[in-house]
A and B are shown apart, each in its own frame.
Chain A
Amino acid sequence: MRIFASLRIAGRALRRNKMRSLLTMLGIIIGVGAVIGSVSLTSGATKQVEDQVSSLGESVITVFSGNFTSGAMRGGWGSAPTLTTGDAQAIAGLKNVIAVSPEVRDRAQVLANGLNWNTQVMGESPDYPQIRNWSIASGAMFSDQDVRSLAKSAVIGKTVADQLFPNENPVGQTIRIRNLPFLIVGVLAPKGFNLFGQDQDDTVIVPYSSHMHRITTRTFVNSILVQAANDKVIDSVQTEITDLLLLRHRSKEQDFTVRNQLELMQAVTATSRAMSFLLAGVAAVSLVVGGIGIMNIMLVSVTERTREIGIRMAVGARGADILVQFLIEAVTLSAIGGSIGIAGGVGFSKIVAYLKDMPTVTPFFWIAIAFVSSAIIGIISGFYPAWKASKLDPIEALHYE
C-alpha cells in the first residue's frame, strides 16, 4: 500500500475528530514546546557566558599570586607580594608565549575636564589590548618606551571617556590620577560587562611601571596575563610557567595560582550542561506521557473503526496494510504535535527574549531531536493499537456493531 494513500487516509481519520486529535497531540505539544523553549533560553544564556569568557581574550593564561598570610593578616588571591615584573619577563622568554602583561590594580578618584570619577586604574604592558582581544577606538596604546621611561601616558575605557569627556575627544587631553597628570593617548573600544557583571569599560590603563612607581609604590604585581600561541599549547605553556615560577620563587609551597581560560569556560558551562541533562529528563518524561495519550486514543480509534478494518480486510487488505495505516496515523499525530511544539517553543523563547532582553538560541540539533523523538514516540505508542487492529478477524470485524 502506497504511503501517499496511507497519509491521506490518516489525515482524513484525524480530521474526522479534530478536537480529539488536538487534545491527543497536546501532551506532545506541551512536552516538546517546554523542551525547545527552555533549551533555547539556556542555550542563549550559555552563549552569552561563552561570549563573555572569550571576551577575556584568546588562549589566555592568568597567573595570580597566592593566598597571603602574614601573622594574623590574611588576604586572598593576588594579595601576596610574590609575583614580580621579573617573573613576567621570565615568562615572556618561554616557548609558545606570544604576549605577557604584568597587571597591577588599584582604585582611584580621577579628575579631568573639571569632572571626577572613581574608577579602576590598571597597570599593564603594551601587549594588554592584544591579550584581551581589545581594540583601540581612537589614538593608540602606549609603547614599550613609555614603560621603560615610566611615562605618564594613559589609555581610558569608554565609560571613563563618557563620564569625563561627554562631548569631546579625550585623546590628547590630560587626566589626573592621584594628582599626577597623565596624557591620554588612546580610548579603548567598548567591551561591555564581564562574566562577573563588572563594567570592563570603566577603567584607566597606564604602563605598569608608571603604576608601580608613581601611583602606588609597589614591588609586586597582582597577576600576570599570558597569551599562549594557541589553545593546543595552552596546557604545556601552563606547566612550563608553573615550573619556571616554582624555580624562581624557590618556595616549597606553590605561592601562586595558574589558571587558563579553557578551565574557566568548562567551569561555567558545567552548570548549563547539568541543566541540559535535567531538561533531557523532563523531556523524556513528558514525551512518555504524551505517548501514553496517543496510545490511549489509538486504542479507542481501533475499536471505533473495527468495522472499517473489517471492510478493508474483506476487500484484500493484509494485516501489514492495516498495521501501517494505524502506525502512520499515530506518527502523523505525534509528528504534527511535535512540529507545533517546536514552533510554540521557539515562539515562546522569542517572546521571553523580547520581553526580558535575553539572548535565545535554538540549536538546530535540538529541533531535529525533538522532531525525531516525537515521531519515534508515535511509532512506539501506535504500535500496540496498530498491531491489535492488524490481528482482528475479518469476519468478526465485519459484524462489529
Chain B
Amino acid sequence: MPTNPVIKLADIHKVYHTGEVDVHAVRGISLEVFPGEFVALMGASGSGKSTLMNMIGALDRPSGGSYLLDGIDVSTLGRDALAEVRNEKIGFVFQGFNLLSRTSALENVEMPMLYNRHRIQSREQRERAMQALELVGLGPRADHHPNQLSGGQQQRVAIARALVNRPTLLLADEPTGNLDTQTSIEIMGVFQKLNDQGITIVMVTHELDVARYTKRMVILRDGKIVADEAVQNRSVAEKELQQLRAAQQAVKLDS
C-alpha cells in the first residue's frame, strides 16, 4: 500500500504492576493498519485485546515499544496531549454505549466538540452533530434522551458521537455485545457503510459472526498475535438482513 499507516505498532509491550506479580498483558505486538481498513481484533478474554485496544485508543501508554498514530508518536505523550489525540484522531464506540443520560442525543453527539482545542461556534456544533446523527439514520430522534431510545439506537448515537470530530480512526469495543442479533447486524451495516466511505475502523470482538463483517481479522492469544488474515466469505449486512427478514416472514406465514 502506498499511503502511510494510520496505526503503526512496533514491538508493543504492556506490563501491569498490580500486587506482587507483574502481569504481562501484551508481549511484543507489531501491527500496521492502513487507511480504509476494517480490522477485527479477536481473542478470548485475557488475550490482551482490551489492553491493546486501550493503547491504540490513546487511553493508555505502552510499557515498551513505539506507537505511531497517523504519524504521531503517541507512546511518549503526557495526559493532556493524549486527551487531545483522543479528541482529534479517535472516535470511540463502547459495548455499553456510554451515553450521558438525561442529555439529548444531539447534546451527546455535540459533547466531543466541547473539548476541541479550536473553538467551534455553537451553531456549527449543532449542524455537525445533526449531520452525524443523520449519517447513522437518527436525524428525527435528535432530541430524544437515551432512556427513550432502544439499544440499537443508543449505539447509533454513540457512533455519531464518535464520528463528529472527523477522526482518522474509529475504535469500537465489542459494539454489538449488548445487542440482539438483528440489531447487531444493523449496527455492523452502519460500520460497513462508514467503511465504504473510507473511514478506518478497528473493532474488538470475540464473536466470529461479527468479525466476518470486517475485512481483516487479527487474532490474539496470551498477548501475542497468532493470526492476521483477510476475511474470507465476508458477510454483507444488507444481504444478511434481507435473509433474516425473509426467514421471519416465513415463520409468520407458517403460523
B67 sits at the interface (CB 8 A): no
Measured CA separation A398–B60 after assembly (Å)? 13
Contact A1 B114 (CB under 8 A): yes
Q: Which of chain A's residues have a CB closer than 8 A to the CB of B161? A: 315
B63 sits at the interface (CB 8 A): no
User: How far, in Å, is B171 (CB) from chain A's closest CB?
Assistant: 10
Contact A318 B83 (CB under 8 A): yes
Contact B84 A318 (CB under 8 A): yes
Measured CA separation A308–B54 after assembly (Å)? 18
Counting chain B CB atoms within 10 Å of each CB, the highest count among A2, A311, A315 belongs to A315
Contact A2 B119 (CB under 8 A): yes
Measured CA separation A394–B80 after assembly (Å)? 12
Partner of A311, one of B57, B79, B98, B114: B98
Given contacts A2-B119, A12-B102, A398-B94, contact A315 B87 (CB under 8 A): yes
Contact B60 A314 (CB under 8 A): no
Contact B115 A1 (CB under 8 A): yes
Partner of B98, one of A1, A317, A398: A398
User: How far, in Å, is B71 (CB) from chain A's closest CB?
Assistant: 19
Partner of A395, one of B60, B102, B111, B165: B60
B45 sits at the interface (CB 8 A): no
Q: Which of chain B's residues have a CB closer than 8 A to the CB of A317? A: 83, 87, 114-115
Q: Which of chain B's residues have a CB closer than 8 A to the CB of A321? A: 114-115
| A residues 60-85 touching B (CB-CB < 8 Å) | none
Contact A315 B115 (CB under 8 A): yes
Partner of A16, one of B54, B92, B102, B111: B102
Contact B100 A395 (CB under 8 A): no
Contact A316 B80 (CB under 8 A): no
Contact B98 A2 (CB under 8 A): no
Q: Which of chain B's residues have a CB closer than 8 A to the CB of A319? A: 79-80, 83
Q: How many A residues touch the partner, as a band?
A: 20 to 34
Q: Which of chain B's residues have a CB closer than 8 A to the CB of A12? A: 102-103
B208 sits at the interface (CB 8 A): no
Q: Which of chain B's residues have a CB closer than 8 A to the CB of A395? A: 54, 59-60
| A residues 233-255 touching B (CB-CB < 8 Å) | none
Contact B80 A320 (CB under 8 A): yes
Partner of A315, one of B86, B102, B119: B86
Closest to A6 in B: B114
A5 sits at the interface (CB 8 A): yes
Closest to B108 in A: A311
Q: Which of chain A's residues have a CB closer than 8 A to the CB of B99? A: 311
Measured CA separation A316–B119 after assembly (Å)? 14
Q: Which of chain A's residues have a CB closer than 8 A to the CB of B102? A: 12, 16
User: How far, in Å, is B82 (CB) from chain A's closest CB?
Assistant: 9
Partner of B111, one of A2, A307, A315, A320: A315
B88 sits at the interface (CB 8 A): yes
Contact with B along A295-329 (1 / 0, CB 8 A): 00000000000011011111111111100000000
Question: Apart from A315-B87, A321-B114, what are 15 other A-B pairs with CB-CB below 8 Å?
Answer: A1-B114, A12-B102, A12-B103, A311-B98, A314-B86, A314-B98, A315-B112, A316-B83, A316-B84, A317-B83, A317-B114, A318-B115, A319-B80, A319-B83, A321-B115
